[in-house]
A and B are shown apart, each in its own frame.
Chain A
Amino acid sequence: MSDKKALTFSIMDGPFEQARIVTVLRMIDIAAKRGYKISVFAYEGAVSLPFAKQAQHPNAVHGNDLAEENHPLAKDWIAALMKTARDNGGELDWINCGLCVDERGMGDAIDGVRRGTPGDLWSCASESDNTLIVGTR
């Protein structure tokens, strides 16, 4: 292994539902700022996190137009984390479980996301300094 840490995260919660994802992304943000090699294996609902067709919307209840509402999107957070990792000499390899993607029709992901299998999680974990599995509840 190189002198840079390699860390793997496995997540299964979808966007806009659970605070767990925000916490995990905060951890990934720390790793990205340190230039670590980060692998994320997303399965079940988590394959929706980098879905490219997520869109902001206005909020008539709050009286906000699109710009005022400025609704955060998980795909943008992930793209920003990938950039942060690159800017700091690291890497964020985001792997979406292919079967989970097909089940949900989530094939249209942002750049930098690749399809994989649970075997990739095994490979990433084997090559990492540590792995965190975050299940849903």
Chain B
Amino acid sequence: MSDYLLIQSQDPFESSATLRDYELATDLASAGNKVTLFLVQNGTLAGRQGANNAALSALSAKGVDVLADDFSLRERGISEESLADGVKATSLETAFDQFAAGTKTIWL
């Protein structure tokens, strides 16, 4: 089993491929891997409460750690309080630490 860091910079409203990326995260977690999905840039838009984000919300239930870049959130006027359940704001440094530690990192 391995650790995976998946960096998602697109949102499902601009690219349907994003939904396939969520499936990849789910499949990796279901196979027993530790998976973090790090939302950055427009990828953070999917993490808002009220967004049509059932696919994203399902990830935490499957054991995927869903994080959102706080800088990208601020750029887009998204407060941490307005994030959907299971999505946690954090700094880019959190993702960087995983990358530097050797976690298999994929920019989706």
| A interface list, Cβ under 8 A from B | 5, 7, 19-20, 23, 26-27, 30-31, 36, 129-130, 132-135, 137
Contacts and interface: CB of A to CB of B under 8 A. Distances in A.
B16 interface: no
A19 B41 contact: yes
Interface residues of B, number: 19
Interface stretch (B26-34, B49-57, B94-102): B94-102
10 contacts: A19-B9, A20-B9, A23-B40, A23-B92, A27-B95, A31-B100, A36-B100, A130-B99, A130-B101, A130-B105
Q: Which of A30, A36, A134, A135 has the most CB of B within 10 A?
A: A30
A30 B107 contact: no
A81 to B, nearest CB: 14
Interface string B65-108: 00001010000000000000000000011011001111101010
A130 B100 CA distance: 7
B15 A132 contact: no
Contact of A26 (B71, B99, B100, B107): B71
Contact of B92 (A26, A36, A130): A26
A132 B99 contact: yes
Nearest to B103: A130
A23 B72 CA distance: 9
B10 interface: yes
A130 to B, nearest CB: 5
B102 A27 contact: no
A130 B102 contact: yes
The 4 residue pairs across chains A and B that have the minimum distance between CB atoms: A19-B41, A134-B107, A30-B96, A5-B100
B102 A129 contact: yes
A93 to B, nearest CB: 17
Given A23-B41, A135-B107, 14 more contacts: A5-B100, A7-B100, A19-B42, A20-B41, A20-B107, A26-B71, A26-B92, A27-B96, A31-B96, A31-B100, A129-B102, A130-B99, A132-B107, A134-B107
Contacts of B93: 30
A7 B101 CA distance: 10
